[in-house]
Each structure stands twice: as structure tokens, then as C-alpha cells.
Structure 1
Amino acid sequence: MSSNRHIDAREMAERIKSGLPINVLDVREAMEYHTFNIGGTNIPLGKLPDMLPLEEWDSDDEIIVLCKMGLRSKTAVTILQQNGYTNARNLTGGLIALQKLK
């Protein structure tokens, strides 16, 4: 597994702080997303295969995939890559890791 499939919480926090556009895919369930999120598109992991191809992004766009702890998003990155999304990246540790930085 290559390192470009991952992004750590510190790098993600810097990207958010920079204000530059980030393609975020949150694969948590809708209720989790509405309780707390950092924006982005919400497609629960179980629905992701049925939603492909994604209208929002081209297959070579960087897509940062996240969930609560980084497990569902890791699976989602694999699904995306199997479907031609070459630049999908998992937020290691998920939103919990990001919140610990604050």
C-alpha cells in the first residue's frame, strides 16, 4: 500500500486552515454526519458502490475520504480505487484524530 493513499490529521488540518478547496467524502451514516462534520459530500459506505461513478469528481481528482476512526474510509478508498479513482486518500485516524489536534 503506497503512502499516497493516506493523509494524516496534521496535514488535513493544515489543508483546512489554508482555505484551499478540498474534495471531502464523508462515508459515515447520515445521522453521524449531521451530528458533526467538516463539510464535504456524505455518502454512507454501504451506499457508495451504488453511487459510482461520482458526479462531483473526476477519476483523477484528489478525494479525501473520512469517517469516525479511519476504518470505513479505508474500505471506501479501496472501492474508489477499484473503480478508477486514482487519487483517493484515507484520513488516517478519522475525525477523532483531527479533533485531538484542537
Structure 2
Amino acid sequence: MKEIKPDEVAKKVNSNESVSIIDVREDEEVAQGKISGATHIPLSELPDRLDEINQSIEHIMVCRSGGRSGKAYQLLDEQGYNVRNMTGGMLEWKDEVDK
């Protein structure tokens, strides 16, 4: 599994790097705040929404602690997507969030 640390993701976001972040948490979790620019696709909806995900760019998967995003990583990786899992999830996120 290819992983990326939350501080590395924060650097990408803060330097306005073109980065695709997919947050697979549930609605009520995302309502408490998500990474700026992240796309919200709950893990349970991911298999039905693959057509919304650009296969030609890298995506960073995010959840609360890194478990569900790990499952999302496996699903997308098996489908041929270029993905990384953010270790520690939002529990380790120290930067600002959009609410």
C-alpha cells in the first residue's frame, strides 16, 4: 500500500498543488470538517461512483483514522487507479478544515 502522511498532504494543499483528495467518511463526520478541496464519497457509495473518479491522476484517500481509507485504497488499486492512503486519517490532521 502506498501511503502519505497528513503533514505531506497539508504541504500539497497549502502550496496549491493540484491534488485529488477523496474523503470516504460518513456525512456526519465530514460535517465536522474536511480537508479543503476534498471530494466526499462515503466508502459505502464508492463502488457505485467509480465513474466520478479520474483514472489518469493520483488520488489520496482519507477517513477518520486510516482504516476505511485503506479499504477504499484497496478497492481503487484493484481497479487500476493511482491511489495513496493518508496514514492516521483526520485524527492526525493538524491543518485547517472546511466546515
TM-score by length of 2: 0.86
Deviations 1:42-101 (A, max 9, x none): 111011111123x241x231100101111100110000011120x1110000111122x7
2:85 to 68, 87, 90: 90
Provide the rounded CA distance (Å) in 2 between the counterparts of 1:25 and 1:18.
Answer: 18
TM-score by length of 1: 0.83
User: The residue matched to 2:85 in structure 1 has which SS?
Assistant: strand
| Count of aligned positions | 95
Provide the rounded CA distance (Å) in 2 between the counterparts of 1:79 and 1:89.
Answer: 12
Structure 2 unaligned runs (5+)? Answer: none
Structure 1 unaligned runs (5+)? Answer: none
Deviation beyond 3 Å, 4+ runs, structure 1:
none
CA RMSD, 1 decimal: 1.6
* Richer in helix (by share): 1
